[in-house]
Amino acid sequence: MYIFGYVMTGRTKGFTGNTTFEIHQKFLNEYKEAEKEVRKVEIFKKDVDVKDFAIDISYDVFKEYFLSNKYSIDEVEFMCRGADRRVQ
């Protein structure tokens, strides 16, 4: 399960789901007019078998890499954990 926090000017809207596209569709269904205000996306992964993972990325990078299927959240998590378990 993933938790996405869309950070806009003065507010953050959170959505949960199993895939990036599912969660982003929920956001667009409710806040399509506010999409241009989004500055960054906070992504949290909840997994009972593995230590939880969290990353904050700009909305432009989120759209370019995650919504275009260049990388999955699991691939980014693997890359981050491989470098001393954190991004520097």
**What would the pLDDT profile of 1-37 be if each residue is shown by its tens digit?**
889 999 999 999 999 998 899 999 999 999 999 999 9
Which has the closest alpha carbon to 80: 48, 53, 45, 46?
53
Q: pLDDT tens, 39-82?
A: 999 999 877 566 677 889 999 999 998 888 888 888 887 777 76
pTM of the full structure = 0.81
Question: How far is residue 87 CA from its own chain's centroid?
Answer: 16
DSSP 19-65: SHHHHHHHHHHHHGGGGGG--EEEEEE--SSS--EEEEEEHHHIIII
Q: Are 55 and 40 in contact (CB under 8 A)?
A: no
